[in-house]
Amino acid sequence: MFDYLIVGAGLFGAVFAHEAKKNGKSCLVIDKRNHSGGNIYCRQTDNINVHEYGAHIFHTSDKTIWEYIQQFVQFNHYINSPIANYKGELYNLPFNMNTFYQLWKVQTPKEAQQIIASQIADLNIQEPQNLEDQALKLVGKDIYEKLIKGYTEKQWGVSCTQLPPFIIRRLPVRFTFDNNYFNDTYQGVPVGGYNKIIEGLLDGIETRLNIDFFTDRNQLTKLAHKIVYTGCIDEYFEYQLGELEYRSLKFEHEQLDMQNFQGNAVFNYTDREIPYTRIIEHKHFEFGTQKTTIITKEYPVQWQRGMECYYPINNEKNTQLYNRYKDLANAENNVIFGGRLGEYKYYDMHQVIGAALKSVQKEFNHEI
């Protein structure tokens, strides 16, 4: 009998298993996929680490988490600086002085601030009724129309006028020539790929793949004293209160017989007509010099049960439903719910590590 059955070999499950082992506990990790790592898994092709489930860039300002993760892998100096392609025009992201020069040929922060302020004033939006109003009120017409509207509509599958304003609370605008997408202190991509992190975390821990918890729930439950569950919380409770909603994605990977396709890891396509939102060229995450390259087109997809649940939709309806499931989870004996799907939260990697370490602290009653 194991101390813990861990459902899901993603980052949450792997951190929990690693720390439990350090505390002298035995763990069995299962995953329904044919690999461990959850969404940070990379497939190696032609010596290139392909981010199979979407571009992953590690970033945090938490020194403890940054040091924790470096036990398993070194990070390179990759800085995320996406480029937007709007109908063939290229713009730097996030919105900064480079973008404003490309939009209006302005060279000083004062000129850029004046243009944005006058565009906002012209629209005279008082109380934003939808996402379009909200974005226009924050950044004015040009940035909204060229860099936000089409991308957001593709992501959500509806017009910005039908989306609630709260989705965009702030739109960071920088009046410096700084293309670094994240504001965090630490950032990078693991040297040799994300799988190294998972391999390090799960070293010496029994991991069984291609096993869906729900195909043999009763038998699997009998294998351990406690369960750590990182799958969808509503599925655990057999959808008895109803279904939580997600957005899903489709990834189209292509291997190209050329050294360099787009010269940058991330290109966002911000017009509505091109059906994908991004093209990722994986080798640039690791400054690769391979002879060939691999790109991935990312298409937003309406989620239906059975598809991968990529983004929780944290609107009021889903939040209320999740809170009811959480009450059921709190009443469930010997089960810890964790991770992006278990907690229905859009966690980044550093947040999932933080949440797993907190859960370990609570379980073993000590500091990590």
Containing 5, the helix (H) or strand (E) segment is: strand 2-7
Is 298 an annotated catalytic residue?
yes
Listed ranges 21-29, 50-58, 106-114, 184-192: which one lies at the site for ligand FAD (CB under 6 A): 50-58
Residue 56 interacting with ligand FAD (CB under 6 A): yes
Is 348 an annotated catalytic residue?
yes
Which x/- pattern, by CB under 6 A, does the window 76-115 give for ligand FAD?
----------------------------------------
Nearest distance from residue 161's CB to ligand FAD, in Å?
26
Residue 5 interacting with ligand FAD (CB under 6 A): no
- Of 234-293, binders to ligand FAD (CB under 6 A) are 249
Amino acid (1-letter code) at residue 185: T
Can you tell me which of 28, 29, 295, 341 binds ligand FAD, judged by CB under 6 A?
A: 341
What's the gap between Cα 287 and its chain centre? 22
What tokens does 65 get? 């988490």
Listed ranges 129-137, 257-265, 275-283, 340-348: which one lies at the site for ligand FAD (CB under 6 A): 340-348
Q: 105 burial class (0-12, 13-18, 19+ CB within 10 angstroms)?
A: exposed
Residue 178 interacting with ligand FAD (CB under 6 A): no
Which x/- pattern, by CB under 6 A, does the window 14-43 give for ligand FAD?
----------------xxxx----xxx---
* Sheet with 335-337, side-by-side order of all strands: 206-208, 27-30, 2-7, 224-229, 335-337
> Hey, which bits of 194-325 come out as E strands?
206-208, 224-229, 246-256, 266-269, 278-281, 293-302, 311-312
Beta carbons within 10 angstroms of residue 177's beta carbon: 13
In DSSP terms, 227 is beta-bridged to: 5, 335
Q: Which residues are catalytic?
A: 170, 174, 247, 278, 298, 346, 348
- Under the rule (CB under 6 A), what is the footprint of ligand FAD? 7-13, 30-33, 38-40, 53-58, 212-214, 230-231, 249, 310, 339-341, 347-350, 352
